């Protein structure tokens, strides 16, 4: 069933196909694209944002067909709230922020970098808070193969006196093609998000704002409640509605005080995971294909294989560090490009003997890991078709 805000949108526009195709906003944006898992990170020149995840037909933040969407950087500075130009995003449900002034775009770089840990994809956007003397220089970066992208917001005080206020990073969750969900909280890190299951238990689809800079506040609630709290120009209240399934949004905030001529930087990760892997990108790096610390979870080859149909999987801890995998058996190659990383090895129909399974994995740092495991079949030819690999 369509939620009420979508029914209202359909009635207002009078278009049966309004949800069918992604639309571009009336504001310029730069887009980081890659094989994924984050296939698109659209960054407005007025500090709006939108994200696409591999395997999802719709975008991850409402409106699910608009780049950028109801997501971005907001600052309460005295009586004025500076925000992305949501009303120019094709459609929006962020009216609860009340009166706001759109950021004045200053500059935006094209995408730079190679998408590796040593050289992440990077976009730098600068925007002014009107004539207040506050300039935001925001750097968004992404390492291919990870389910998080990083945002560093630098507040520059270009006046002769101190500037104080509240910085918000927030969005209206669309939770990978679902407009309703629960919330979850990592209290130890004041990290909050939207989840398909209450408290992300069991772990499944999530969107999370994970602070790198401490001292932040957080909030998860109905999307309108999140925007309405920003309208109060006060820090988020450190609350969630984790036990309730609602049309939700979430975000984190920092209270800042920047001295005359000074600057301060606030950083966080935004994570999108269909398997509920929360927190910052894993620092685990695979060292080999097989063995205790290898990337693969596979049957032992110490004995002959009596069961000729088995699965090989990449260990979940390494998922964010893997960009692609190839599996080769008897001259046939299968290419894996996205999680969940795994495939079937089928030795049925083959004569008794030894068969090599060759694995090649490419990591997000550009490193290639290769390994070969030979399996010995125990008996003669079994009934079955040609291996699917």
| pLDDT for the residue numbered 292 | 64
For the chain, the domains span 4-273, 296-376
Q: Distance between CA 122 and CA 111 in Å, rounded?
A: 6
Q: Which secondary-structure segment (H or E) carries 134?
A: strand 134-142
Peptide bond into 63 cis (omega under 30): yes
pTM of the predicted model, to two decimals? Answer: 0.74
Contact 48, 68 (CB under 8 A): yes
Supply 178's token pair: 């679902």
Contact 6, 20 (CB under 8 A): no
Q: Which secondary-structure segment (H or E) carries 229?
A: helix 223-230
Contact 136, 198 (CB under 8 A): no
Supply 222's token pair: 């109905």
Task: Tell me the pLDDT of the chain (389 aa) as tens digits.
Answer: 344 344 333 333 333 223 334 555 689 999 999 988 899 999 999 999 999 998 788 999 999 999 999 999 999 999 999 999 999 998 999 999 999 999 999 999 999 999 988 899 999 999 999 999 999 999 999 998 888 999 999 999 999 999 999 999 999 999 877 889 999 999 999 999 999 999 999 988 999 999 999 999 999 999 999 999 999 999 999 999 999 999 999 999 999 999 999 999 999 999 998 888 898 887 566 667 777 667 777 766 666 655 566 777 777 667 666 778 888 887 778 887 776 677 777 777 777 778 888 888 887 666 788 888 887 777 654 444 444 44
For Cα atoms 211, 215, 219, give the angle at the middle one, nearest 5 degrees: 65
| pLDDT for the residue numbered 341 | 73
Domain 296-376: what homologous superfamily? Answer: Immunoglobulins (2.60.40.10)
Q: Distance between CA 82 and CA 312 in Å, rounded?
A: 51
Report the residue count for the chain: 389
Q: Give every CB contact of residue 187 below 8 A, 6+ residues apart in sequence.
A: none
Long-range contacts of 325-330 (CB under 8 A, 24+ apart): 325/359, 325/360, 325/361, 325/362, 326/359, 326/360, 327/357, 327/358, 327/359, 327/389, 328/357, 328/358, 328/359, 328/360, 328/389, 329/355, 329/356, 329/357, 329/358, 329/387, 329/389, 330/355, 330/387, 330/389
Q: Distance between CA 389 and CA 376 in Å, rounded?
A: 17
Supply 103's token pair: 């950021």
Q: Strand locations in 173-262, DSSP E?
A: 182-186, 191-195, 206-211, 217-222, 248-258
| pLDDT for the residue numbered 172 | 98
Q: Give every CB contact of residue 372 below 8 A, 6+ residues apart in sequence.
A: 356, 357, 358, 359
Q: Give every CB contact of residue 25 below 8 A, 6+ residues apart in sequence.
A: 44, 48, 66, 67, 68, 88, 89, 90
HSE-up (13 A, CA, CB side) for residue 315: 18
| pLDDT for the residue numbered 149 | 97
> Of the CATH numbers 3.20.20.10, 2.70.98.40, 1.20.1640.10, 3.40.50.300, which one belongs to the domain with range 4-273?
2.70.98.40
Q: Distance between CA 308 and CA 314 in Å, rounded?
A: 19
**For residue 330, which of 313, 354, 352, 365 has the smallest C-alpha distance?**
354
**For residue 102, which of 136, 128, 132, 77 has the smallest C-alpha distance?**
128
């Amino acid at each position: 069933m369509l939620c009420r805000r979508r029914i209202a949108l359909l009635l207002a526009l009078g278009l049966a196909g309004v949800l069918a195709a992604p639309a571009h906003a009336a504001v310029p944006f730069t887009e980081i694209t890659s094989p994924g898992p984050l296939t698109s990170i659209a960054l407005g020149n007025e500090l709006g944002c939108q994200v696409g995840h591999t395997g999802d037909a719709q975008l991850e933040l409402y409106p699910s067909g608009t780049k950028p969407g109801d997501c971005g950087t907001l600052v309460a500075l005295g009586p004025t709230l500076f925000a992305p130009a949501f009303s120019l995003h094709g459609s929006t449900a962020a009216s609860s922020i009340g009166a706001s002034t759109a950021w004045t775009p200053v500059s935006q770089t094209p995408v730079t970098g190679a998408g590796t840990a040593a050289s992440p994809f990077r976009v730098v956007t600068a925007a002014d808070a009107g004539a207040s003397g506050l300039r935001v220089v925001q750097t968004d970066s992404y390492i291919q193969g990870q389910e998080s992208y990083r945002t560093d917001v630098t507040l520059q005080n270009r006046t002769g006196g101190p500037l104080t206020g509240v910085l918000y990073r927030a969005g209206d969750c669309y939770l990978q093609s679902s407009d309703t969900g629960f919330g979850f909280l990592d209290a130890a890190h004041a990290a909050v998000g939207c989840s398909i299951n209450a408290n992300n238990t069991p772990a499944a689809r999530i969107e999370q704002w994970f602070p790198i800079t401490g001292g932040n506040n957080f909030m998860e609630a109905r999307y309108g409640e999140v925007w309405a709290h920003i309208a109060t120009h006060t820090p988020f209240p450190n609350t969630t509605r984790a036990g309730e399934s609602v049309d939700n949004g979430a975000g984190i905030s920092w209270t800042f005080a920047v001295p005359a001529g000074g600057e301060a930087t606030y950083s966080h990760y935004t994570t999108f995971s269909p398997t509920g892997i929360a927190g910052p990108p894993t620092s685990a790096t695979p060292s080999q294909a097989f063995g205790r610390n290898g990337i693969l979870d596979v049957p032992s080859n110490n004995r002959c294989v009596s069961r000729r149909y088995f699965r090989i999987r990449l260990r979940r801890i390494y998922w964010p560090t893997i960009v692609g995998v190839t599996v080769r058996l008897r001259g046939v190659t299968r290419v894996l490009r996205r999680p969940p990383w795994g495939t079937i090895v089928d030795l049925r129909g083959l004569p008794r003997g030894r068969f090599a399974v060759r694995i090649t994995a490419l990591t997000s740092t550009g490193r290639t890991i290769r390994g070969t495991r030979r399996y010995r079949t125990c008996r003669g030819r079994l009934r079955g078709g040609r291996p699917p690999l």
